[in-house]
Amino acid sequence: MNFKLPYRYIVVEGPIGVGKTHLVKRLADSLSGSILLEEPENNPFLEKFYLHPEQSALPTQLSFLMQRVKLSKTLEQDDFFNELRVADFMVEKDRLFAQITLDDDELALYNMVYDNLTMQHRKPDLVIYLQAPLSVLKTRVSQRGIGYEQRIEDAYLKRLTDSYADFFHYYDQSPLLIVNAEQIDLVNSEQDYQNLLSQISSLHSGRQYYNPLAVKEKK
C-alpha cells in the first residue's frame, strides 16, 4: 500500500537496537521514497571503541560526524529533484554520543568541529522517535548478532537512552512522533506497521505520542 504524505525528509531516530533501520526501509517502500542510512561498518574506529572506549572515543565520534554531515549534504540535491528521503539518523544526535563518551578537552575540540560543519543543514520535515526499555534494546542487539555490538555495556546503553529521552523532551525543530516501540513488531506484524502508518499520517505539526499497548488495552 502506497501512502502520500506532505513530507520530503523523514527521520527515524532512537537508541541502538530500537529498530530504526528496518522502519526506514519499510517507510521508504510504502512512501515511494529512497533511504539515507548510516554506515557504521565504514567507521574504522568503531570496533576499537567497544574494545577500548577511552582511547578511541574521539576518532570514533569525529568519523561518525564527518559521515553524517556528508550524507546529509545529499539532501541539498533532493530539493531540486523533489525526492522523498527517509533517514535513520539526524545530525543533531551526534552530540548525544559525544557528550557521554568524550572527556572535557575532547568534547571542547569536538564541539568546535561540530559547529563549523553543521552551520547549515536541512531540518527534517518529520521526526519519528522510537523508545524501548533497556531490556528490549539488549535483546534486539543480541538477536541481530553484530559482533562488536555484543560488547556494549548496560551502563553505556542506559546513558544513551537517557540522553535520547532528554534530547527529545526539549526538541521542537520539527513535527515529532514519539513511539513506544516495546510492543511493536515491525518485522513480523503487518498490522503493527499499518497502525503506525496511520499515526504518522495523522501528525502534521507539534508532537504526538503513540503507545500501541495503551491502544490495545482500550479495545
Using one digit for the tens of pLDDT, what is the confidence trace for 137-171? Answer: 999 888 887 777 888 889 999 999 999 999 999 99
Neighbours of 55 (CB within 10 A): 12
pLDDT of residue 68: 93
The CATH fold assigned to 9-218 is Rossmann fold (3.40.50)
User: Could you report the per-residue pLDDT of 77-107, keeping only the tens digit for each?
Assistant: 655 457 889 999 999 999 999 999 999 999 9
Q: Report how far residue 59's alpha carbon sits from residue 114's, in angstroms, rounded to the nearest whole number.
A: 13
pLDDT at 217 over 70: no
Residue spans of beta strands (DSSP E) within the chain: 9-13, 34-36, 85-87, 126-131, 176-180, 207-210
Percent of the chain scoring above 70 in pLDDT:
93
Q: Which residue's entry shows cell 555495556?
A: 153
Residue 9: strand pairing partners: 85
DSSP state of 147: G
pLDDT of residue 159: 95
Give 181's contacts (C-beta < 8 A, 6+ positions apart): 14, 18, 19, 130, 131, 132, 136
Q: Report how far residue 23's alpha carbon sits from residue 11's, in angstroms, rounded to the nearest whole number.
A: 10
Q: Is the dihedral of CA 121, 159, 132, 199 positive or negative?
A: negative
pLDDT at 54 over 70: yes
How far lies 94's CA from each of 13, 27, 117, 189, 197, in Å? 11, 23, 12, 31, 27
**Per-domain boundaries in the chain:** 9-218
